[in-house]
Amino acid sequence: MTISSMHYAELSEFAYKLPFEDADGNRYAEIDGVRYDALEIVDNRSSGYQGVMFRSAKTGEIVVAHRGTEFKDEFIDDVLRADGGMVATRANQQATDALELTRRAMTRAQSEGVPVTVTGHSLGGCLAQITAAKYGLHSETFNAYGAASLDQRIPEGGRDVVNHVMAADFVSSASHHYGQVKVYASRHDIATLSGAGYGNNERALDRGNLPAAIAVGAVSHSLHNFRDTDGVEADLSVLRDPETRVNAHRFESMIDKFRDEVWAMREGASLGGAVLRGPLGIAEEIGRRLPEKPPESPFKDAHGALLAGGARPFDPRHPDHPGHSMHGAVRAGIERVYAQHGRAYGEDGERTAAALFADARLKGLDQVDHVVAGRGDGAGIDVFAVQGGLTDPAHKRAQVNTDAAAQVPVETSFGQLAQAEQKAAAQEPPQQEQFRAQAARTA
């Protein structure tokens, strides 16, 4: 993928407004001389979702830009209170529309042999995290509300998403994020936090005036911080200003105090709201905090997705499968490899992705950080899935050959994996029996 962070920021801006219209009536965005054609514009009045599917005229890459939320007083209340609204109740009504537009983009990209990425600012960044997590896509977001605290069972952390945040932005501080977080501290951010009484020291009880800091949050939350324009005036994006990253490191203690306090207040309000809702509310809050997949072993991870009882699908393309995100990462990697080698993705790509995913799971990988191509000859391309650093001797990897994998039906790969994992899970002694054995030894 060749799209820069600056271009993602501009595409996020275009999600707020209709792109330009050429003489033929086609909508487009132009950024640094690169044209991005608007393939589809969605405006769902019932859910409030708005998004734009762009395609780069230069590379053919497709980007889905999810629109954010206008910064108004009710939005501030929505972030900080526990008695209503999308953020407060963690019920993202727009996620279905965002996932559907992204799915259509993936279908189009598959037929064209190009990658898909997602982006967005504020609420749009939250939707970008959701769609990236569900489909295993790369994403860059700007001052996003973190999706890891929603009821989507999305884990915190990961490498597929880069979340750019301003130090004094309370929206991105209020929730944990899917993906890595890059903090930028402008002079305005430092002045805001310092003026609100936050000290740049290690004293844990040194708290500032949170309402005073939030009162000027609109400036830090604005998307213009990441763009080279402030309205119609020329400006310098924090993405290109090294001082902002230096400040983020230099004033890390002060920034952490502010952001931790916002998160703690938000989380406390959520827990308080759960208690007020009674046992059901508490149960819902506990369920929300459970990870999408248990971390004990790669076999237990998929045990719930086996055919026992028919309760859950064994196909990782299904959103309810515990390995859905991992399969999405493999699939996105195979799409890139095929595009780099001038191959149409199609059914062969699906079979290759299924075979590589199955081999990765059987070799103990529980996440995929890289999908890379080895040598290619008349007998296909060797493709590797890697967990860990590419140069790390301790990394885990799996390997398939594209031509060989293309001969194996998707259902066969998934079925063989399910059988192997079911057998391995059945051979693991139950935890209760292990506990009894330990108790007997210590008695």
The per-residue pLDDT for range 143-178, each reduced to its tens digit, is 998 888 776 778 888 888 999 999 999 889 888 899
> For position 232, what pLDDT does the model report?
56
Under a CB-based contact definition with an 8 Å cutoff, are residues 36 and 30 in contact? yes
* Count of beta carbons in the 10 Å neighbourhood of residue 171: 31
Domain segments of the chain as ranges: 5-289, 298-431
The pair of three-digit structure tokens given for residue 271, joined into one six-digit string: 């827990």
Confidence label for 93 from pLDDT (cuts 50, 70 and 90): confident
Query: Which residues in 14-73 belong to E strands, given as ranges?
Result: 20-21, 27-31, 34-43, 50-56, 62-66
Give first-to-last CA distance, the chain, whole Å: 60
Higher-confidence residue of 275 and 217: namely 217
The conformational region for residue 165 under phi > 0 = left, psi -120 to 50 = alpha, else beta, is: beta
> For position 45, what pLDDT does the model report?
83
How many angstroms separate the Cα of 102 from the Cα of each of 105, 164, 401? 5, 21, 29
Burial of 357: CB neighbours in 10 Å, binned 0-12, 13-18, 19+? buried
Across 58-62, 255-259, 330-334, 410-414, least confident range: 410-414
Confidence label for 268 from pLDDT (cuts 50, 70 and 90): low
Q: Dihedral (C-alpha) 196, 197, 201, 207: value to the nearest 10 degrees?
A: -100
Contact partners, residue 172, CB within 8 Å, separation at least 6: 125, 143, 144, 145, 146, 163, 165, 166, 181
| pLDDT greater than 80 at residue 203 | no
121: which DSSP letter? Answer: E
Handedness of CA 85, 160, 65, 353 (dihedral sign): negative
Rounded Cα gap, residues 128 and 117, in angstroms: 9
DSSP lists the bridge partners of residue 40 as: 53
Q: Which amino acid makes up residue 395?
A: H
With tokens 């915190």, the residue in question is: 156
Question: Under CATH, what is the fold of the domain 5-289?
Answer: Rossmann fold (3.40.50)
71: which DSSP letter? Answer: -
| pLDDT greater than 90 at residue 179 | yes
| Angle at CA of residue 65, ends 60 and 71, nearest 5° | 160
The conformational region for residue 341 under phi > 0 = left, psi -120 to 50 = alpha, else beta, is: alpha
The upper half-sphere exposure of residue 409, i.e. CA atoms within 13 Å in the direction of its Cβ, equals 5
Rounded Cα gap, residues 311 and 324, in angstroms: 16
The per-residue pLDDT for range 54-85, each reduced to its tens digit, is 999 999 999 999 998 755 544 554 454 433 34
The closest alpha carbon to 345, from 171, 112, 134, belongs to 112
The pair of three-digit structure tokens given for residue 308, joined into one six-digit string: 């026992």
43: which DSSP letter? Answer: E
DSSP string, 280-316: HHHHHHHHHHS-SS--S-HHHHHHTTSSGGG-S-S-T
Rounded Cα gap, residues 68 and 129, in angstroms: 13
